[in-house]
Amino acid sequence: MTKVILSSNYNFPGQKGVYKGKVRDVYNINDDYLLMVVSDRISAFDVVLPKGIPYKGQVLNQIASKSLDATKDIVPSWIIATPDPNVAFGYKCEPYPVEMIVRAYLTGSSWRTYKAGAREICGIPVPGGMKEHQRFPQPIITPTTKAEHGSHDEDISREEIIKRGLIPEKEYDMIEKYTLEVFIRGSEIAAAHGLILVDTKYEFGKKDGKIYLIDEITTPDSSRYFYAEGYQERFDKSLPQKQLSKEFVREWLMANGFQGKAGQKIPEMTDSFVNEVSARYIELYEKITGEKFLKADISNISERIETNCRVFLENFK
């Protein structure tokens, strides 16, 4: 039987606390470093679904690590090492309270907003007469506030971020610059492997006066990809795009009557659906990295993670 990691409850040397998010369990090590365990949990509509997805955590962690390494010449990365296929270790930064969403195409939630009549997203005008999955004249940045536990992210404009003092103007301008440069790099990497980076999110933090790129980047949880081959033909015929992202999970939930609203019941996740989701994640790994995905030993994934992390921390200087 395939094993997944849905939760962790470790006690590492130097541990000062632990924060458990929707997907990641983040261990504070001596108030200087973070040890991030990427679980196999999957969330949609701000709800963690009841079943884990085999190898999902490994996929997310390894894509993020490779992508952060590929952009560290643009902006420093928080990651120092990956002591386990499901774990990243790096600097503890003070996160900025805003997520930077970059959109190159009108799709997903932006399309739903546009279809409802909006012609402005986060203070940015959007041309009239656009179709679903159409490319914007240039990528747009549509920030959101980072939600507190149990609440939803909210769109916010650059002007409002600065007015409310969430981020100083000079630092925000630098973060915006980094955001576009990292997005361009990610788009180039995707294109080299036959993919279109449609939209994604980045998070930034600050340590010792320096801005760092934190969390994950260009994973299927934080990004949406289209296959480049066939994009134009599908667009011209108003057909759905062939995509690699978590959007198909949201679409499956919506088709089964669930959008995270009060009173709605999460539909049963059959083994076949769970395996399909796992295969999609592995497919994206292989497409975006151009490498074969090597499945880690998951016969006892929780014990493996603990052993690898303890050995690493004991030897880390």
pLDDT per residue rounded down to tens, the chain (317 residues): 458 999 999 999 999 999 999 899 999 999 999 999 999 999 988 889 999 999 999 999 999 999 999 999 999 999 999 999 999 999 999 999 999 999 999 998 899 989 999 998 888 999 999 999 999 999 999 999 976 654 567 889 999 999 999 999 999 999 999 999 999 999 999 999 999 999 999 999 999 999 999 999 998 888 999 999 999 999 999 999 988 778 788 889 999 999 988 889 999 999 999 999 999 889 889 988 999 999 999 999 999 999 999 999 999 97
φ, ψ of residue 122 to 5 degrees: the values are 55, 40
Tokens describing residue 240: 């759905």
- For the chain, the domains span 95-245
Please, what CATH class does the domain formed by 95-245 belong to? alpha beta
Determine the length of the chain: 317
Closest among 86, 88, 73 to 34, alpha carbons compared: 88
Angular region, 165: left φ>0, alpha ψ -120 to 50, beta rest: left
